[in-house]
Amino acid sequence: MVKPLAKNTKMEKRKGPVMLVIMDGVGYGKYEEGDGFKAALTPNLDALMSEWPTVSMKAHGTAVGLPSDDDMGNSEVGHNAIGCGRVFAQGAKLVSNSIASGAMFEGDTWKKLTGNCAEKGSTMHFIGLLSDGNVHSHIDHLKQMIIKAKEAGVKKVRVHALLDGRDVGETSALEYFDPFEDFCRELSTDGFSARIASGGGRMVITMDRYGANWNMVKLGWETHVLGEGRSFANPHEAIETLRAETEAIDQDLPPFVIAEDGKAVGTVEDGDAVVFFNFRGDRALEITKAFEAGDDFSEFDRKRCPSVEYAGMMEYDGDLHIPAQYLVSPPAIDRTMGEYLAASGVKSFAISETQKYGHVTYFFNGNKLGKFDEKLETFEEILSDVVPFEQRPWMKCADITDRVLEVVESGEYDFIRMNFPNGDMVGHTGVFPAVVCSMEALDLCIGRLKKAVEAAGGVMIVSADHGNSDDMYEHDKKTGAVKTNENGKPKAKTAHSLNPVPCIVYDPAGKGEYKTELKEGLGISSLAATTLEFLGFEAPEGYDSSVLNYK
């Protein structure tokens, strides 16, 4: 339990609520071409940035707890940083450190899984995203685990590899699959066998989140576990064939099964071990539930549920302890802004649509699924449409705004936080016109919120968790020129960017307590202290500095 916050003596609390608006995936682009945010008509945001205190903030790499500044930020670590006001070592870094030190392989879970397979002569399966995107997983982690599994006496490894095309190039799958197949062949000596057994696009199978589309998990189960689906002799043939037939980018490629003599090479059977090797939790929970829920599972007909030793790369839900077994402990995030506000009697309202609802609640509260105080906190989810985001790029931003305007008018809440997913979810599609549309829809909503904040005498802080919509084309790193595809058109980029994000302070009731020039060089973790100061409190000891420069 934390103590109530001390009063901020430098600035008087405003009459209205403090509103934190997180524009998911919206940053300051490095290149003019391909910057969907800059290309959009955004008069409301333009006015805010030109007329009100604005500064750029770091939202990637070490600023959000990732191993290096070559690592893209993401929504999970971004909301962790925003919500807890400091930087914690995050999933990718924790896993890399655990592998490098050997701690993972000395752990009870790893020994139990490998020992099970070595003793029974059963198969060890690895399911996850095969890329070096370092947002959900990293291929190097998988390679090290396979090497160590062989050393531990496991004789058979099967990999169920999900295509990325989202945190890496949209059609880069063979850059990972082909060398990985070579790696498996070279390692398959002395009675040891490793190979890819199934696959499919991450936005088609297995990696659903927040219960948005359980059919994805059903397809993943049928593909990975049951070995059902269209079969191919090898992954290269599968990817090239399906790509030619569907013209889909990697993340949208249909599922496939690798088979020999008409039989799948890697079905999951009783006595096997299964590791879901993604370290990020949101898209790991549902497939984990399918393995662990037993007879209580009702989301789809699993047809057959093998008895296996299952483990996740990390504990994906610290409150519900999911999964029961995991290889690396997640960061222990404490003293979050939400906990302090609850201890201080502040009423809070959090809202987003399904795609980012967990980010503005679970991740914002330090990977805590529940609430700190049921009476003081309200969480509201607007159900997302189950359609490709490029077909409805405005998503639910208007619905979120409608509800927030009602909340502001009610006067019931001191702190309102929201996430608009448009810039990220539409940005991942790689469809530039859709991204521009999504930004313009978002801007209309910002304009509506601005009027409501002014009428209520409140404060609106507009920022983001990472970039994406601001960098929609692949660029040559040396020349900056846009890369083109075989048709001479710009090559779409579907991954997050390394760009900084805006921090805009709209404070129409301000009394000049702070300078119009905000502090520079800070990361998005500083949004917590900034928010707390506007709520009338001093930031807790150890929190990263507010952006406010007091006079």
What residues are designated binding site? 24, 75, 136, 166-167, 202, 209, 280-283, 356, 424, 428, 465-466, 496
**DSSP for 85-150, written as a single string:** SS----HHHHHHHHHHHTHHHHSHHHHHHHHHHHHHT-EEEEEEE-SS-SSS--HHHHHHHHHHHH
Residue 267: Cβ-neighbour burial (10 angstroms; 0-12, 13-18, 19+): buried
Tell me 484's DSSP state.
B
- Active-site annotation holder among 56, 68, 75, 546: 75
Detail the residues annotated as belonging to a binding site for substrate.
136, 166-167, 202, 209, 280-283, 356
How far apart are alpha carbons 417 and 404 in whole angstroms? 9
Indicate the angle between helix axes 526-534 and 75-84, nearest 10 degrees: 40
Share in percent of the chain as helix, strand, coil (round to 5): 35, 20, 45
Here the tokens at position 226 are: 């049951």
Please tell me the number of Cα atoms within 13 Å of 399 on its side-chain side: 15
CA-nearest of 163, 142, 49, 41 to 443 is: 41
Q: Is the dihedral of CA 406, 502, 5, 369 positive or negative?
A: positive
How far apart are alpha carbons 243 and 174 in whole angstroms? 11
- Between the alpha carbon of residue 302 and those of residues 122, 232, 324, the distances in Å are 21, 23, 20
β 501-506/123-129 pair status = unpaired
CA-nearest of 485, 472, 459, 380 to 428 is: 472
Q: Provide the b/e sequence for 226-244 (b: ≥16 CB within 10 Å).
A: bbbbebbeebeebbeebbe
Tell me 360's DSSP state.
I
How far apart are alpha carbons 493 and 516 in whole angstroms? 35
Here the tokens at position 441 are: 């829809």
Instruction: Let me know if 75 is a catalytic residue.
Output: yes
Catalytic residues: 75
